[in-house]
Structure 1
């Protein structure tokens, strides 16, 4: 995407994201959370967490921005953990001994289809 912009345009875009987007990250995360319906919470939040990670890489030189972004990632992950339905509890299974069967299950051998003349 960077090749579409001149260096100056790209720098302006980054600064606009810093000024306009970063302060709204909590609102954006909450909006995505509130729009959750039936899909698994981790899948529902996957896109916004990936976007947050992209922003974190872009603003890696700005400690305050990284701190803000990491906080939103942490809150998103906490929401996922709280929203996911727990695995059903299952009682441990015991395995019994299996006795080999002496009875034949078929009349054909696995070698019946091999033609002796093809060797």
Structure 2
């Protein structure tokens, strides 16, 4: 049985997709710390960041950088923060979080968005890729 992220990659669970290539996938977090909070994952399910082989690790970071740059051009923020925590889902994921205040990195501060806001924002970020 795959993780919730594997199910998203396979299309079994809907998401607000931002980007995808042969090895990696990015989508908006549905419980965002800030407007535009995006998750970047390897398609191959791996539990821990340091379990990735070096090529997969570097590939995930390069993919995350590309997505983060598009995110920074799409959302009004001072910078895009990055976090890899990995306790809540056993599938490596990089959090890209538009930041204007440190509280947006705490994972205790959440914002609400409508389905329409998610759709429009995902499209806006995709346009910047």
State the TM-score, normalizing by the size of structure 1.
0.31
Higher helix share: 1
Q: Specify the structure having the higher radius of gyration (Cα).
A: 1
**Structure with more relative contact order (C-alpha pairs < 8 Å, separation 6 or more):** 2
State the TM-score, normalizing by the size of structure 2.
0.29
Higher strand share: 2
